[in-house]
């Protein structure tokens, strides 16, 4: 099969990469999204080598469950060992022996085929397009915030970052909280938020400092944590969504002095995300940027790195 893999230093197209042969459900990839995490892995995050890509929609080719064959699916990316206490409690994402699609010990979606356990797969209704379906995984990560934090309608909320994940997080938080401000850097990205009724700011003023009950860092950079610490009220909650390759030291003193609750937040349940797309309470069409072939992966990655770019897709 055709696949684009990362050898630890560079991305390489291989037209004769071995197909998955794991006894799991085999999925033909229809479309895969390039995520900020993919770009960080290329910079050294997770020290991963293999096929990147964890946001995808595909069609089931082979499965022990005949009812799945031919169905369009998306997939939860963490595959646990099914034996440990975490897996028995339904917390496969924290299994010490887990594999993670395109991130940890498991080949991902930048290929013609991928494989996942059947229980990881979710059938997508016809009302959701392929482009929309690719957003299920990051949208599930956005919904995870309300699973972790008891959101209060009266809270002042700040989202630091204006990229793909930040845009999804803002839409999800708006379902519970109306007073949301996005602190970003790119006017093109911020304009879509203005149209949706979200307050926007470029840069932090002294009047913004210690003004918010909840701050979400979705910048994908170390600077996001520093900005979040400026914005959060004493005894407020900061949700950390950024995973970065940089090994710079962070100053935790403000979190201790102001008794800030730090919440690490990663993957989420897929059902709320699928339901939100199917009912239209969350919109993603405005974030669709462009589609590249696997052969044009290099151009796709360079385009995804541009500051004003939202979602870029690879189509095997």
Which pLDDT does position 239 carry in this prediction?
97
CATH T-level assignment (fold) for domain 3-135+284-315: Quinone Oxidoreductase; Chain A, domain 1 (3.90.180)
Summarize pLDDT for 133-167 with one digit per residue, the tens.
999 999 999 999 999 999 999 999 999 999 889 99
Which pLDDT does position 22 carry in this prediction?
81
Q: Tally Cβ neighbours within 10 Å of residue 277.
A: 22
Rounded Cα–Cα distance for residues 274 and 299 (Å): 30
- pLDDT over 90 at 172, yes or no: yes
Asked whether the domain spanning 140-264 has the same topology as the one spanning 3-135+284-315, the reply is no
Which pLDDT does position 247 carry in this prediction?
62
Rounded Cα–Cα distance for residues 66 and 47 (Å): 37
Rounded Cα–Cα distance for residues 97 and 104 (Å): 10
Which pLDDT does position 245 carry in this prediction?
59
Global pTM reads 0.93
- pLDDT over 90 at 86, yes or no: yes
Summarize pLDDT for 28-49 with one digit per residue, the tens.
999 999 998 999 999 988 889 9
**Residue 189 tokens, joined:** 């990205």
- What's the rounded mean pLDDT across residues 272-289? 96
- pLDDT over 70 at 53, yes or no: yes
Query: Nearest 5°: phi and psi at 121?
Result: -95, 145
Rounded Cα–Cα distance for residues 54 and 242 (Å): 16
Which pLDDT does position 299 carry in this prediction?
97
Mean pLDDT for the chain overall: 94
Domain spans in the chain, listed from the N-terminal domain onward: 3-135+284-315, 140-264
The CATH number corresponding to 140-264 among 3.40.190.10, 3.40.50.720, 3.90.79.10, 3.40.50.1000 equals: 3.40.50.720
């Amino acid at each position: 099969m055709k696949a684009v893999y990362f050898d630890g230093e560079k991305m390489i197209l291989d037209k004769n990469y071995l197909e998955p042969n794991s006894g799991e459900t085999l999925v033909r990839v229809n479309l895969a999204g390039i995520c900020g995490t993919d770009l960080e892995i290329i910079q050294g995050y997770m020290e991963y080598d293999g096929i990147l890509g964890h946001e995808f929609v595909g069609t089931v080719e082979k499965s022990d469950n005949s009812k799945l064959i031919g169905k369009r699916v998306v997939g939860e990316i963490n595959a646990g060992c099914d034996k440990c206490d975490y897996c028995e409690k339904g917390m496969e994402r924290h299994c010490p022996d887990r594999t993670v699609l395109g991130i940890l010990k498991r080949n991902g979606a930048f290929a013609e085929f991928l494989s996942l356990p059947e229980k990881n797969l979710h059938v997508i209704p016809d009302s959701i397009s392929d482009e929309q379906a690719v957003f299920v995984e990051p949208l599930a990560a956005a919904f995870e915030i309300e699973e972790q934090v008891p959101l209060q309608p009266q809270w002042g909320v700040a989202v630091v970052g204006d990229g793909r994940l930040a845009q999804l997080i803002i839409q999800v938080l708006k379902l519970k909280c109306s007073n949301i401000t996005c602190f970003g850097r790119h006017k093109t990205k911020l304009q879509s938020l203005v149209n949706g009724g979200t307050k926007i700011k470029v840069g932090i003023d002294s009047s913004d400092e210690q003004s918010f009950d909840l701050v979400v860092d979705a910048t994908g950079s170390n600077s996001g944590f520093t900005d979040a610490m400026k914005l959060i009220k004493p005894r407020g909650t900061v949700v950390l969504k950024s995973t970065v390759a940089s090994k710079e030291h962070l100053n935790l003193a403000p979190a201790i002095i102001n008794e800030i609750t730090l919440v690490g937040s990663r993957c989420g349940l897929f059902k709320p995300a699928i339901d939100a797309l199917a009912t239209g309470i969350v919109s993603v069409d405005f974030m669709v940027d462009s589609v590249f072939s696997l052969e044009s992966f290099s151009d796709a990655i360079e385009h995804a790195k541009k500051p004003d770019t939202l979602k870029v897709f690879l189509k095997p």
